[in-house]
Amino acid sequence: MRPTRIEISRRALEQNIAYFRSIAPGKEIIAVVKANAYGHGMELVATAIEPLVDAFGVAFAEEGAALRSIGITKPIIVLMTPTIGDAEEIVEHDLDAVACSLDVVQRLNTVAQRFGRRVRCHLYVDTGMHRDGIAPEEVPAFVEACAQLEQIELVGLCTHFARSDERDCQMTTRQNQRFAVVLDQLLQNGYRFRWIHAANTGAALQHPGTHYSALRIGIGLYGIAPGQTSAPPLRPALRLVTNVTALRSVRAGETVSYGTHYVAQRDTTVATIPIGYGDGFVRMLTGIAECLIGGKRYPIVGAICMDECMVDVGSDPIALGDEVVLIGQQGNQCITAREIADRLGTIPYEVTTLLGNRLERILVP
């Protein structure tokens, strides 16, 4: 069996959830596990944390259906705008849906009548992201139309912030003010919602005025503070680990890997490790990636292959089977997803989400 795997720390997940509860006491936690839990393993993570959270957030109905199939019973909110074609799956698997298309809500109502069920919906207000949602001025008419549908239950009100992970809070403040106006109007008209959620991880960390009744925690659940935010108590939950599978001597002047771009500057030893861009350890890391062996950093050399990488370990006493860490801590050294993202010119979300399904995910203490 290939030794390459992703280790997910149960203790880190628990500590991260506890941290968000500590900064927003009394608020409910919606754990966002879309995109395979940001690469951490949706089913593994959801099963581990279900007793500790109040609901789950997914992107698409099929993700929610997958969670139901493994026995998840907490509310599951489909956060992306559903299509008419999603109605059957949403109703069949008892999923919550965001509401921002009357055609879709009407279709949900029709399907729910057939199943003899009610559908819980969260009114999605577009306060400035301009990706999904209903314009604030259109909310009263939309809510009134939804209220006429017998199988539709409006249980939530939500929005999404565009720049909550930046230190400049002006955009978030403006969006939150628009959201607060809509909420106040609906409350004055007698509407009540269990789920009032605007704060994603960035807003949860920086903007307590956005906490309302629930927080939607995505990247922070996995121990990564987004953008320019900082939260030292968060603990990364993911370790990307493999083992040395081959060692060979390379003379000065000899080349390593495809394209012969890397030329050894001295006699050295090169270790082979079984991970590559086919696993999401992308080829763009060629020439800039490092790994940890025995608590020491080593450069990954030559072009990253689909299934393997090579590591220049010099004359150090590395042995077959030695543990290699590509993301995570080993000894006193740590390679973070943010460090890799900075080298690639991207964000940590992409680094972890790209990790593929060939990689076994294991829950560890």
Encode pLDDT of 30-86 as tens digits: 999 999 999 999 999 999 999 999 999 999 999 999 999 999 999 999 999 999 999
Query: Taking all residues of the chain, what is their mean pLDDT, rounded to a whole number?
Result: 97
pTM given for the model: 0.96
Mean pLDDT value across residues 300-318: 98
CA angle 86, 92, 96 (to 5 degrees): 65
User: Angle 42-49/61-69 helices, nearest 10 degrees?
Assistant: 60
In this predicted structure, what is the pLDDT of residue 199? 98
Six-digit token string for 343 = 């080298």
User: If you write DSSP's letter for every residue of 144-201 in order, what string do you get?
Assistant: HHHHT-TTEEEEEEE---SSTTSS--HHHHHHHHHHHHHHHHHHHTT---SEEEEE-H
Q: Is 296 a catalytic residue?
A: no
Is pLDDT of 168 > 80?
A: no
Give every CB contact of residue 55 below 8 A, 6+ residues apart in sequence: 28, 29, 30, 31, 74, 75, 76, 77, 96, 195, 214
Extents of the domains making up the chain: 10-222, 238-364
In this predicted structure, what is the pLDDT of residue 1? 87
Active-site option among 34, 212, 222, 262: 34
Point out the least confidently predicted range of 129-138, 149-158, 163-172, 335-344: 163-172
Q: Domain spanning 10-222: which superfamily?
A: Alanine racemase (3.20.20.10)
Active-site option among 74, 191, 258, 296: 258
Q: Is 258 a catalytic residue?
A: yes
Residue 167 confidence class, pLDDT cut points 50, 70, 90: confident
CATH number listed for the domain at residues 238-364: 2.40.37.10
CA angle 49, 55, 60 (to 5 degrees): 105
Q: What is the DSSP letter of 134?
A: B
In this predicted structure, what is the pLDDT of residue 193? 97
Six-digit token string for 214 = 């629930």
Is pLDDT of 105 > 90?
A: yes
In this predicted structure, what is the pLDDT of residue 35? 98
